[in-house]
Chain A
Amino acid sequence: MTRIDRPIEEIAAQFDMGAPEWADDPYPVYERFRRECPVAHSDVYEGYWILSRYEDVHFACQHPEIFSSYPNPIPANLGATGPLIPLEVDPPDHAKYRQILAPLFAPARIDALEADVRATVNELIDRFVALGRCEFVSELAKPLPSIMFLRLMGWPQEDAGLFLEWTDKIVHGVPGDPEASQRVREECGLALYTYFAEILDARTEERQDDIVSILLDANFGGERPLNQFEILDIIFLLLIAGLDTTTSTLANAMVFLAEHPDHRQEIVSDPSIIPHAVEELLRLESPIGPGRRLTQDFTMHGVDMKKDDRVLLLMGATGRDDAEFPKADEVDFSRYPNRHLAFGGGAHRCLGSYLGRLELRVALEEIHRRFPDYRMVPGTRPVRRLSNVRGTDELHLEFTPSAAGGEPREERR
């Protein structure tokens, strides 16, 4: 009997996004959750419910009074010392934090980064384009968001490697080993906080034109300034929410495009469709799997859940729900409407969605301009993972080599 042929309750009971079991292709299992068991139960991590239908997950996102965001991840602790702000804060305090943070990620501020994102993507491409091959994840998908994060924060670029290592371990843990994962997360969390604390001390002494300085001068709901712990918790969240999610979505998109030359050709033929392609590729894998905690007893589809039970919102399953997306397993760059939940929904809808979309769009534009005929290196296959953020650990591409940096910069629009 193959793994997928077991009763769905049995699959659910052992379901662990951190385990490698469904890393290559979770979608057949997701489909069974949606169809047979819309409120499934896993026994892993002290037990949690799994919602997989678009409508149900959307409902949970829009009803924080029933589905509290504290704690958010399953398992609960990612190595932070306090609640992840504002992710793990419920209304009404949530809005007071968002009011402080929203301007930092507002469209005008993010749009101003476009030239910087484009230059960064091109510098990264310059390093491998003459070779005619690359390992896409380590050479482009990972460095891009961490370089942009450090630039946004105004911190030294040479620390990019440190941040990559810490966030990688915090988000992914040690696959299949919950105890080791917890240990590694606590270690890296401590390292991160130590790093942040030094910057915070420096900026407390002397402000600079950076996000920490803005947070030091910010006001919580007109009541008080933020304290140091709040600032550290906010920065911790920006880091773990902003880096791996973008890396994963970009790498997942490239896995799909490398495996589907017809869709790749659509982009090459008409790069103006890239913003639509970005939305469709976000929908296809909707990589995050946030959790909630019930504030009251609650019944869905005849299943009684209890106050304080944990609930996993399986975003990846919502993107493939035919009830919301006709022919959900097919990729259609002209899909409309495309109300995917890749950025979550409700009050906690991703704060950095403009930045994420900008990085994804510009990366796809430059990739398809500079090495448009990429394909998977024969004999290799992409290394996929599920975890809290579904992603790709390795993707070996080859293409017709071209001169690094020598290519005339084609100005778009």
Chain B
Amino acid sequence: MCSFHGPDVFELDDLGYSKPGTRDVPAGLEDQAHRGAQACPERAIDILDAAPAVAEKGLRP
């Protein structure tokens, strides 16, 4: 479900699971990261240091 909503952020392995571990979200993909994390039925994805991304989004025209 995470890659369904955030295909450019969440890469699935051969068995269909998102690869575990911490990684940086490329600029411009914050929205996909949030949507993908929010969609996870297992609540297995945390967005660390989310505030800047949200603030940045708010400042955009």
Interface residues of A (CB under 8 A from B): 62, 102-103, 106-108, 275, 336-341, 343, 345-346, 349, 354
Interface residues of B (CB under 8 A from A): 1, 4-5, 12, 14-16, 35, 38-43
Contacts of A345 in B (CB 8 A): 41-42
Contacts of A106 in B (CB 8 A): 14-16
In the complex, are the beta carbons of A336 and B35 less than 8 A apart? yes
Which of A108, A341, A354 has a CB less than 8 Å from the CB of B41? A341
Closest 10 pairs between A and B when the two form their complex, measured CB to CB? A339-B41, A107-B16, A102-B15, A337-B39, A337-B38, A106-B15, A106-B14, A106-B16, A354-B16, A345-B41
Task: Report A286 CB to chain B, min CB distance, Å.
Answer: 12
Contacts A345-B41, A345-B42 hold; do A339 and B1 have CB atoms under 8 A apart? yes
Give 9 CB contacts A-B under 8 Å.
A107-B15, A275-B4, A336-B38, A337-B5, A337-B39, A338-B39, A339-B40, A345-B41, A346-B42
Contacts of A341 in B (CB 8 A): 41
In the complex, are the beta carbons of B16 and A340 less than 8 A apart? no
> By DSSP majority rule, is chain B's interface helix, strand, loop, or mixed?
loop
Which of A62, A103, A339 has a CB less than 8 Å from the CB of B14? A103
Closest to B1 in A: A339
Task: Report A281 CB to chain B, min CB distance, Å.
Answer: 15
Contacts of B41 in A (CB 8 A): 339-341, 343, 345, 349
Excluding A103-B15, A343-B41, A349-B41, 19 further A-B contacts by CB distance (< 8 Å) are: A62-B42, A106-B14, A106-B16, A107-B12, A107-B15, A108-B14, A275-B4, A336-B39, A337-B5, A337-B39, A338-B39, A339-B1, A339-B39, A339-B40, A339-B41, A339-B43, A341-B41, A345-B41, A346-B42
Report how far A336 CA is from B31 CA in the complex, Å.
14
Contacts of A354 in B (CB 8 A): 16
Report how far A275 CA is from B14 CA in the complex, Å.
21
Report how far A103 CA is from B4 CA in the complex, Å.
20
Closest to A357 in B: B4
Contacts of B15 in A (CB 8 A): 102-103, 106-107
